[in-house]
Amino acid sequence: MTRLCTDNSIEMCRDEIVAGYRQWRERTGNNPHCPVRDVLDRMGDKWTTLIVITLAERPHRFSEIHRAVPDISRRMLTQTLRHLERDGMVLRQVFPTMPPSVEYRLTHLGESLLRPLAELIAWADGNHERIMAARVAYDAGSG
């Protein structure tokens, strides 16, 4: 599972995913801990992606992120940043000024996530209308 799906063939991607999944199951037996879920759980939570996108532009201070990401509470901002820092995606840098000032920036690992993330965002953006149309059709049929 080290190949990258860089060409345009859906079949190649399917084969890659299927083969990779099969290999992982054979390697790990019934190990319930899947590295992919480890990542997807983070991506899927409420704030991680927005924060990563915000930090993609440039380093931000705590309050800057708080202003840039609408409606996030300080508690969840702190918690999400801690998770990202723990996973090596974000670097936290404290300046011992008064009042204190803390800067957050993406690490190289964090920046490397931008590429697959951009793919996913492009897909979501490009197929959002199709999905909404499918929902309308589904709800009309079973309504």
Partner DNA sequence: CGGGATCCACGCGGATACTG
Partner DNA sequence: CAGTATCCGCGTGGATCCCG
| Interface contacts to DNA, rule CB under 7 A | 45-47, 61-64, 71-76, 78-79, 81-82, 92, 99-102
Q: Which does 100 bind (CB under 5 to 8 A by kind): a second copy, DNA, none?
A: DNA
Q: Which does 29 bind (CB under 5 to 8 A by kind): DNA, a second copy, none?
A: none
Q: How far is the CB of 51 from DNA (least distance, A)?
A: 12
Alpha helices (H) along 6-113: 10-28, 35-44, 48-57, 62-68, 74-86, 108-112
Q: Distances in Å between the alpha carbon of 130 and those of 10, 11, 118, 126, 133?
A: 19, 22, 19, 8, 5
Q: 44 or 78: whose CB is closer to a second copy?
A: 44
- Asked if 135 touches a second copy (CB under 8 A), the answer is yes
Token pair listed for 83: 């998770």
User: Which residue from 96, 99, 117, 140 is in contact with a second copy, where contact means CB under 8 A?
Assistant: 117
Residues near a second copy (CB under 8 A), total: 65
Q: 23 or 73: whose CB is closer to DNA?
A: 73
Q: CA 121 to CA 50: how far, in whole Å?
A: 12
User: Which residue from 28, 93, 101, 123 is in contact with a second copy, where contact means CB under 8 A?
Assistant: 123
